[in-house]
Amino acid sequence: MSGNRTFSMIKPDAVSEGNTGAILRMIEEAGFKIVAMKKTALTGETAGKFYEVHKERPFYKDLCAYMSSGPIVALILEKDNAVADFRKLIGATNPADAEEGTIRKLFAKSIEANAVHGSDADDTAAQEGSFFFAKTEQF
């Protein structure tokens, strides 16, 4: 069994369109417990740090501009097999490829404005959670 925590962000497109509540409901109904939650905003610089792994990719600059274009909701979530189960719940990066009933199929606008982020591994989940939350906030 892999780890029981993952990190997620509800992205600017979903927050600005009023989909935060609907997405949180889907997350809770799928059995995830909200360990930590914060509505905040990234700057171009902090978005650049968060997505540093993609810095050589052609979409990096646009991604940083988009991710700093409005508020986001940062979340640490808990469930058995959290990383893999959450990626199943959100669906493919490109909403055109996402399965019916997934969060991205329902709410994403494009491959960039894809409604939610979900960590891709246990170690990145821990790093990404600590990017937004102090240890004392990760109850």
3-class DSSP assignment, residue 81 = coil
From 16, 45, 49, 59, residue interacting with ligand CMP (rule: CB under 6 A): 59
Angle value at C-alpha 48, between 61 and 62, nearest 5 degrees = 20
> Could you say whether residue 28 binds ligand CMP (CB under 6 A)?
no
Is 132 or 139 the residue whose CB approaches ligand CMP more closely? 132
- 78 in helix, strand or coil? strand
63 binds ligand CMP (CB under 6 A): yes
Catalytic hit among 5, 11, 104, 117: 117
Q: Does 112 engage in binding with ligand CMP (CB under 6 A)?
A: yes
Local structure of residue 130 (DSSP, 8 states): H
Residue 69 within binding range of ligand CMP, rule CB under 6 A: no
* Minimum CB–partner distance for residue 94 and ligand CMP (Å): 7
The verdict on 101 binding ligand CMP (CB under 6 A) reads no
Q: How far apart are CA 2 and CA 82, in angstroms?
A: 8
Task: Please give the order of strands across the beta sheet that includes 72-78.
Answer: 33-40, 72-78, 5-10, 116-118
For binding to ligand CMP (CB under 6 A), which residues are involved? 54, 59, 63, 93, 111-112, 114, 117
